[in-house]
Amino acid sequence: MPSPTTEPATEPATGRRVSLVTLGCARNEVDSEELAGRLAAGGWELAADPEDSDVVVVNTCGFVESAKKDSVDTLLAAADTGRKVVAVGCMAERYGHELADSLPEADAVLGFDHYAELSDRLDDVVAGRKLASHTPSDRRKLLPISPVQRPAASESVEVPGHAQHGWGPRVLRTRLDTSPVAALKIASGCDRRCSFCAIPSFRGSFVSRQPDEIVAEARWLAENGVKELFLVSENSTSYGKDFGRDGASALERLLPRLAEVEGIERVRVSYLQPAETRPQLVKAIATTPGVADYFDLSFQHSSEQVLRRMRRFGSTDSFLALTEQIREYAPEAGIRTNVIVGFPGETEHDLAELERFLTGARLDAVGVFGYSDEDGTEAETFDGKLDPQEVTARVTRISALVEELTAQRAEDRIGTFVDVLVEQAAEDGEDAVGRAAHQAPEVDGECVILEEEPALKPGDLVRCEVVESAGVDLVVRPVPDADR
């Protein structure tokens, strides 16, 4: 296969400079790099500083209220530069003209269907031509109900992160940083109907990317300095469900292919649904060389009663059995999750069940969120809403427990050996910083690396002994002669 490239199709034109600002999750980071690739191919020059650009494109997040506020604040800050401002991403897709009406500072609000022609749309913005704002719709209705009928249909539907159709061996992506870690999208959308979540309505139905396409992008990322691939989607355990009979173990087959890509040191899987996590997938993640024994499991709660109202499945005992199964294969495996407390109808017994699960599971990292209504979700209509002050009290209670438990889990790692990917070299009196296999980017803590003679550089993978812990963070010392 020819080596994928991302050279612009045309030379950048003078006066056509654009900067991209990305908010939200790793999936949005992939989408921004795809947009950067499209804009470079359309002749736009990428500027790191909004002050140096003609247009600032803000890739917004629309998941929860705090993320929406951050998106609005960022759009306003971009407008303060005096440059043209364009809103794209989840908040723009979800609210469209409503966002445009409430935020006249944005020169355009464009949905996912504008991505293929974004270069031309930015030309319109610079020229002062008025663009009709995006009109939101339920994107689940754009693809067939049957997953196996979606692959062909998806070629005519804009799915962010799936823009390779028609580009042959070329990867339509431009890196926006020099980190040795990069997110790699394996699928988009979600077929689940969790009562608290609006994501499927604006991200659409679940669609897997083809394995060869993913591997080609992995090779390109490796050629561009990436050492760790961070596989992202809305639901990675569903990967391959739209491939028909051959899709049953598609992720298990994909992982070793990615781990074998020259230059890649580690592959990390994220966004696993506990109810869909098959024993063979657990084994593949825990035992495949080059794949981090790391499990990002979206438990959300453990009380059966609360989970049913969430339109999810599981229980404290079944979730504990899953964590035990993981540690039978890999005793030092990292397991992280998010939980929602204060969900409508949550009782003291339900909260005690969650505490029983968290205490027994020995998780490495837990995000604790208080329930709040999301526009257009089923849970918004539920009775049994808790007083906001009670929700806050429960968040405080569970957060305190989580802080204690995760600190204990990190302390248990003292004296063990970990493979640390260096992300920041030692400089200005500060130690080098990296992450072990059980630590995902930004959310799970980090490793502070004690070097007698600083020589490590970003991208190095070094064997270390854990000598101390501080919360979820570890202090480690390189042991060059240790067996990896």
Alpha-carbon span 7 to 41, nearest angstrom: 7
Tens of pLDDT, residue by residue over 356-401, are 999 999 999 999 999 999 999 999 999 999 999 999 999 999 999 9
Tens of pLDDT, residue by residue over 203-234, are 999 999 999 999 999 999 999 999 999 999 99
What CATH superfamily classification does 149-410 receive?
tm_1862 like domain (3.80.30.20)
Note the pLDDT of residue 154.
77
275: helix, coil or strand? helix
DSSP label of 117:
G
The answer to whether 231 and 269 have CB atoms below 8 angstroms apart is yes
Alpha-carbon span 99 to 109, nearest angstrom: 7
- Average pLDDT on 186-212 reads 93
Q: Give kind and range of the element (H or E) at residue 397.
A: helix 388-411
Q: Has residue 3 got a pLDDT over 60?
A: no
Which residue is it, tokens 């969430």?
310
Kind of pairing, strands 461-470 and 417-424? antiparallel
Alpha helices in 81-147 (DSSP H): 89-95, 97-102, 118-126
Cβ neighbours, 10 Å, residue 307: 25
Domain ranges of the chain: 17-133, 149-410, 416-483
Cβ neighbourhood burial of 5 (10 Å; 0-12, 13-18, 19+): exposed
Note the pLDDT of residue 4.
37
Non-local (6+) Cβ contacts of 288 within 8 A are 255, 256, 259
Cβ neighbours, 10 Å, residue 32: 24
Tens of pLDDT, residue by residue over 111-151, are 999 999 999 999 999 999 999 999 989 999 988 899 988 88
DSSP label of 263:
T
Note the pLDDT of residue 8.
38
- Kindly report the CATH class assigned to 416-483: mainly beta
Tell me which of 158-162, 178-182, 341-345 is least confident: 158-162
Q: Does the predicted TM-score (pTM) go above 0.85?
A: yes
Q: What are the CA-CA distances from residue 313 to residues 22, 301, 306 (Å)?
A: 33, 10, 10
Which residue is it, tokens 């999208």?
185
Assign 2 a pLDDT band (cuts: 50, 70, 90): very low
The answer to whether 133 and 104 have CB atoms below 8 angstroms apart is no
Tell me which of 45-49, 154-158, 423-427 is least confident: 154-158
**Annotated binding-site members for [4Fe-4S] cluster:** 25, 61, 90, 190, 194, 197
**Annotated binding-site members:** 25, 61, 90, 190, 194, 197
CATH topology of domain 17-133: Rossmann fold (3.40.50)
